[in-house]
Every structure is written in structure tokens, then in C-alpha cells.
Amino acid sequence: MDEAGAPADLPYVLAVPQTAAGFIFGYPLRAGHPVNPSNKILWVVDFPRSGSLLQITGQLSDANEPSVHESVPANSGPGEIYPSIVDVPQPGCWRFDLSWSSQHAAVYLVYQ
């Protein structure tokens, strides 16, 4: 395990502020709707979900308009986790704004 509590060979991203992390099971992430593997990201949040959805809004880092939006239910466990598939329409560096309960954070992910 590394300092984030993940297996050493599992890629992950830390949010800003560090109230969420995304563990990337479908690495490398790819544009479109890839399969085998899919763009699976397990989000782990630091604050209680309180039954709220995880709202994920993404856009290319140099764009003004959101391009993708996902809502992930708080129906997984153990702990404060949200398993998701996050697909994007084109490659590049994507900024994802995350919100759940009353919390907000952002991450940047590169899609091929």
C-alpha cells in the first residue's frame, strides 16, 4: 500500500482540496465508450455521503462549457465510495468538478 491507502500499482488522483480521491481501474483512461477495460473510477470521499449523489461535471481544461455530467448514487460500500464509469467525447486533459452532500472538490484527468 502507498500513502493514499491504495495498492502500489493502482493509479489514483487526489482532488483539490484533498477531500476525495479517484482510483483508476481502467488505466489508461480513453475517450469514447471503451470496453475491456472501461473508464472505471472508484471515488472515495473524506466526508459522509449522507445519502447524496456524487455529481461529476467535466470539461476539457481549456473549455468554458461543461461537456459531461454523471450522477452516481450513494448505494455502495463499505465506507464512503462511489463506483463510476466516466466517459468523455474526446481526448485531452479534463477537469472534473465533484460535489456530494455539502462538499466540493476538483480533479484533472488525462484521457487518450
SS3 call for 56: strand
Q: What is the pTM assigned to this prediction?
A: 0.90
Report the relative pairing of strands 40-45 and 54-60 from DSSP bridges: unpaired
Domains delineated in the chain:
12-111 (2.60.40.10)
Give the burial class of 43: count Cβ atoms within 10 A of its Cβ; 0-12 exposed, 13-18 middle, 19 or more buried: buried
In angstroms, the CA 26 to CA 109 distance is 12
pLDDT along the chain (112 residues), means of 10: 62 97 96 96 95 96 86 95 96 96 97 97
All three cell numbers of 99, joined, read 460535489
Which residues share a beta bridge with 55? 71, 99
pLDDT the model gives residue 7: 67
